[in-house]
Amino acid sequence: MSVMLKKQSGPPKPAVDKNSFKYRSLRDLRINKYVYLMLVPVIAYYVIFYYVPMYGLQIAFKDYSPGLGMWNSEWVGFRHFESFFDSYYFWRLLRNTLLLSLYELLFGFPASIILALLLNELRSNVLKRFVQTVTYMPHFISIVVISGMLVDFLARDGLINNVLGLFGVEPVAYLGESSWFRTIFISSNIWQSVGWGSIIYLSAMSGIDPSLYEASRVDGASRWKQMLHVTLPGIMPTVVILLILQIGSFMTVGTDKILLLYNSTTYETADVIGTFVYRKGILESDFSYSAAVGLFNSIINFALLVLANAISRRTSDNKLW
């Protein structure tokens, strides 16, 4: 008795391309599924609190009324943008925002790099830890407390004027003088952030190959030459990435701190786009106008970020994307 076996007919299954993006992605997802699971809350946070609110940007193009809601409010197009560009305050706001950001970039950004280089050259661990502790501490003080200290110290009868008065200097209400505001704002920012900002550069320095220093010493390089030709090139990728990120937030100065320090007598040098948005949106409840101004600010930041990244990509191998 013979048994007939039936063979299935049909095209052969295609071979799996193990180098394809789909295969590699699924394999990585299967291997690291728990890591991706931990990433879900982070993604959810950004989606809920950063991307979903973008839906409200439409009020920048409408005459928004809370009673009518976003959909039923009248569409006005670019009227709020045109009103802002034609306003008396536009050039003052733009000038102050650009100048404060530029001074922060010129003086604040290099300060952390310089401090990290100096700390790296210290041979006494006790002194190094002491300097690090002293320079890190201001970062953990609330901006509200910092601003209160500045208001008290810089008052006409404050600590600064009392000390200068011992040398015959006439008291000055520093926070009431528009000419002093930028100096106070930038210098206090540097004092508060210089130590904390140096941490990432010190971390980058720790990753430099020690053999490079040994080779430079064999060649007779001094500590100054080692810093110029070994340390700085070693941390340059970190410097470039942080510089790109800072340029990307160029139009975003410390609005909260300015709000705590400025007053009507210092608007000429202290009033920036962020504080203007606060006054129009929160105090005057002109939500559409303030949304339009804020959107303009964000677009400029985004354009600067893309431009800085493109320049870095063309001139070096360091880039965000």
**What is the b/e burial string over 48-61, where b = at least 16 CB atoms within 10 angstroms of the residue's CB?**
eeeeeeeeeeebbb
Q: Report whether 157 contacts 75 (CB < 8 A).
A: no
pLDDT in tens, 221-237: 899 999 999 999 999 99
Average pLDDT of span 104-124: 93
Q: Are 287 and 64 in contact (CB under 8 A)?
A: yes
Rounded to the nearest integer, the mean pLDDT of the chain is: 89
Q: Which residue has the tokens 């728990």?
A: 34
User: What was the pLDDT predicted at 1?
Assistant: 42
In sign, the C-alpha dihedral spanning 267, 268, 274, 278 is positive
Q: How many alpha carbons fall within 13 Å on the CB side of residue 294?
A: 22
At residue 180, the pLDDT reads 94
pLDDT at residue 3 is higher than 50: no
What is the reported pLDDT for 17?
66
User: Quick check: helix, strand or coil at residue 247?
Assistant: helix
* pLDDT score, position 71: 87
Q: pLDDT at residue 200 above 60?
A: yes
pLDDT score of 48 more than 80: yes
Which residue type is seen at 95?
R
| pLDDT score for 113 | 95
Under DSSP, the state recorded for 168 is T
Task: Report whether pLDDT(56) > 90.
Answer: no
Closest CA to 100 of 182, 178, 176: 182
> What SS3 state is found at 75?
strand
Looking at residue 55, its pLDDT comes to: 87
Question: Could you tell me how far CA 48 lies from the centroid of its own chain?
Answer: 21
pLDDT of residue 81: 93
Average pLDDT of span 72-84: 91
Rounded to whole angstroms, the Cα distance separating 247 from 257 reads 20
Read off the pLDDT band of 82 (50, 70, 90).
Answer: very high
| 25 contact partners, CB below 8 Å, separation of at least 6 | none
User: Which residues are 75's β-sheet partners?
Assistant: 62
Cβ count near 297 (within 10 Å): 20
Q: Nearest to residue 312, comparing CAs of 252, 251, 242? A: 242
In this predicted structure, what is the pLDDT of residue 252? 87
- The CATH code for residues 89-315 is 1.10.3720.10
| pLDDT-based confidence at residue 5 (cuts at 50, 70, 90) | very low
pLDDT score for 33: 87
Average pLDDT of the residues in 272-298: 90
Task: Report whether pLDDT(47) > 70.
Answer: yes
pLDDT at residue 13, rounded to an integer = 59
What is the rounded distance in angstroms from the CA atom of residue 33 to the CA atom of residue 131? 43
Residue 220, burial from CB neighbour count under 10 angstroms (0-12, 13-18, 19+):
exposed
**DSSP of 118-132, one letter per residue?**
HHHH---HHHHHHHH
Q: Which position has the token pair 């920012």?
A: 189
Say which residue the tokens 């997802």 belong to: 29
Side-chain half-sphere exposure of 145, counting CA atoms within 13 A:
6
% pLDDT > 90, the chain? 65
- Domain ranges in the chain? 21-75, 89-315
% of the chain with per-residue pLDDT over 70: 94
Tell me if the pTM is above 0.75. Answer: yes
pLDDT of residue 316: 82
Indicate if the pLDDT at residue 4 is higher than 50. Answer: no
pLDDT digits (tens, 9 = 90+) for 246-260: 999 998 888 899 999
